[in-house]
Amino acid sequence: MSAPELHPGDCHLFEAAGRRFVYLAPSAAVMALDDTSAAVLDAIADRPRSNDELVSDLASSHGSQDVTDSIGELVRVRALLPRVAPPPKVPRVLPLQPIPVSTMVLNVTNQCNLACAYCYEYGEDKIVQTENGRQPKWMSEETARASVDFLLRESGRSPHLTFFGGETLLNFKVLRYAVGYAKARAAELGKSIDFSLTTNATLLKPETIEFLADENFGVTISIDGPQDLQNRFRVFHNGQGSYDLVAPRIKALIQRHRSRPIGARVTLTRETLDVRRIYEHLTTELGFWEVGFAPVTSAPGRDYAFDDGFEPVLEAFRDLADDYREAAVAGRHHGFSNVRETIEEIHKGASKAWPCGAGFGLLGVSTGGDVNLCHRFAGSEDHQLGTVRDGIDREAQRAFLDRHHIDHKTDCQTCWARPLCAGGCYHEAHTREGSTARPNLHYCEWIRGWTDTCLRIYGEIAERNPAFLHQFDGASHEAPQAG
Ligand code: SF4
Ligand code: SF4
């Protein structure tokens, strides 16, 4: 019987700083390759070869013992497979104990003073019907109090409370009430609680700014860039653009609130894809510390949707990511948060069975007090996991986690990017693929392309300035922001 042939394994090869690396999907580890291992992987890239064939082909250049040792090591880490085989199943282990809530996103209103055409809450793709009267327009103090009690009951020692809308600050009264109540109750229970919010910045008045600074809020501002890009979609109900109102208010906030970095969150559309110009305006002109970009979530066929694929987004991201890499190598800050978040996950060896914390450690609460997967599903009966008054429906939560485990996403099981993607955002999948349980197969090329870019940046930093990566050794430095 002939010796079994060796095939490329469950991994992704890349190059950075003139060195070869491999990202190993089963362990989510990055491994630098020596010349012999790289030669072995190159040799099987065009066709499978047996152990003996590899040794005989490479012995003269690398030495037969080194080749044999390298093959052994590559088989051990599954970068080489003795046959074409599906990757091992991720065991579908569901938590036996109730899962503590680490972040609760409180939708204090579902109303907004802007009318952004692409908005998932109001636009053509909305999933929650607020008109049927089931969800109140405004969260009451009583519901805010019940929500805080719920969070403090279900959390560990240091929960995050994030406020969201509609436009969050339209219900500043209840937000302020919830903060006061949460601080007092947390102190009684010996817990520490951290606050953040997402806002469109239109209502950042001096009193609000003082409050956010005094309470040390993490603030994320939804903004799409300089005047012409911001005013393309982020308009008031009468069609007037919002840039001239928000720009001075953002500057005033950044000037006053210095204890935590203020971040911007940009929704990219086919018509507003000038990533570099947006980034430079938001950091240099307005003073943001970090800027995160997300392609718009939309069903196909919308004017602003990326119906022809995400290649233009990837190109624009790569261009700005080069700047991040150079800054990191020189030990300087760069505020492109999409890179920072991904290399942090790579550094920590993230390997996900679920794409995000939704329905797990992160829950969204609707204006009426329903507990949902996350803020984007707040108020959706089809994505409900309990109420703040009755608590989490553990059976529904377990069924959700079971049904959405990566083990059920057949297409993802042979994908090297699965440790970081795990099928992608449930809301995106609901909108584009028709179900939260489906993987986002419409954007795989984009995810793999972006993950490859971030692996290269990670490898480059690891080679040229490894000390930069120490900032990612501990826990995440900011509470997850709603977007
Ligand atoms: S959705 Fe696509 S990119 Fe993400 S893990 Fe699944 S197959 Fe890979
Ligand atoms: S990734 Fe999607 S599903 Fe997960 S928390 Fe964010 S919006 Fe919700």
For the stretch 32-61, pLDDT in tens is: 999 999 999 999 998 999 999 999 999 999
Burial 417-439 (b: 16+ CB within 10 A, else e): bbbbbbbbbbbbbbbbbeebbbb
pTM: 0.92
Ligand 1 site-directed mutation target among 310, 433, 441, most atoms within 8 Å of CB: 441
Ligand whose nearest atom lies closest to the CA of 413: 1
pLDDT (mean) for 350-360: 94
Q: Residues near 286 by Cβ (< 8 Å), separated by ≥ 6? A: 223, 247, 250, 251, 254, 264
Atom of ligand 1 nearest to the CA of 416: 8
**Which pLDDT score is estimated for 84?**
60
pLDDT (mean) for 231-245: 96
Going by alpha carbons, the residue nearest to atom 2 of ligand 1 is 444
Q: Residues near 297 by Cβ (< 8 Å), separated by ≥ 6? A: 120, 125, 425, 427, 428, 431, 432
Q: What is the pLDDT of residues 135-177, one digit of tens each?
A: 999 999 999 999 999 999 999 999 999 999 999 999 999 999 9
Six-digit token string for 141: 């103090």
**Which pLDDT score is estimated for 193?**
98
Ligand whose nearest atom lies closest to the CA of 482: 2
Q: What is the pLDDT of residues 277-304, one digit of tens each?
A: 999 999 999 999 999 999 987 777 777 7
Ligand whose nearest atom lies closest to the CA of 358: 2
Going by alpha carbons, the residue nearest to atom 1 of ligand 2 is 425
pLDDT (mean) for 400-410: 93
Of 62 and 118, more confident: 62
**Which pLDDT score is estimated for 133?**
56
DSSP annotation of 411 = G
Give Rg (Cα) of the chain.
24
> pLDDT band for position 483 (50/70/90)?
low
Q: How far apart are alpha carbons 444 and 64 in whole angstroms? A: 39
Does residue 40's CB lie within 6 angstroms of at least one atom of ligand 2?
no
Residue type, 106: L
Q: What is the pLDDT of residues 86-121, one digit of tens each?
A: 666 666 666 667 889 999 999 999 999 999 988 866
**Which pLDDT score is estimated for 126?**
58
pLDDT beyond 80 at 209 = yes
> pLDDT band for position 123 (50/70/90)?
low
Calculate how far, in angstroms, residue 428's C-alpha sits from the geometric centre of ligand 2. Answer: 8
pLDDT beyond 50 at 316 = yes
Calculate how far, in angstroms, residue 286's C-alpha sits from the geometric centre of ligand 1. Answer: 36
Q: What is the pLDDT of residues 417-430, one digit of tens each?
A: 999 999 999 999 99
In the chain, how long is the greatest CA-to-CA distance?
81
Going by alpha carbons, the residue nearest to atom 6 of ligand 1 is 412
Going by alpha carbons, the residue nearest to atom 2 of ligand 2 is 425
DSSP 3-state percent helix, strand, coil across the chain (nearest 5): 45, 20, 40
Nearest-5° Cα angle at 419, 418 to 424? 55
pLDDT beyond 50 at 359 = yes
Does residue 376's CB lie within 6 angstroms of at least one atom of ligand 2?
yes
Ligand whose nearest atom lies closest to the CA of 377: 2
Q: Which residues line ligand 1 (CB under 6 A)?
A: 409, 411-412, 415, 417-418, 421-424, 439-441, 444, 447-448
> pLDDT band for position 480 (50/70/90)?
very low
**Which pLDDT score is estimated for 309?**
83
Q: How far apart are alpha carbons 67 and 59 in whole angstroms? A: 7
Q: How far apart are alpha carbons 248 and 60 in whole angstroms? A: 68
pLDDT beyond 80 at 128 = no
Q: How far apart are alpha carbons 271 and 295 in whole angstroms? A: 11
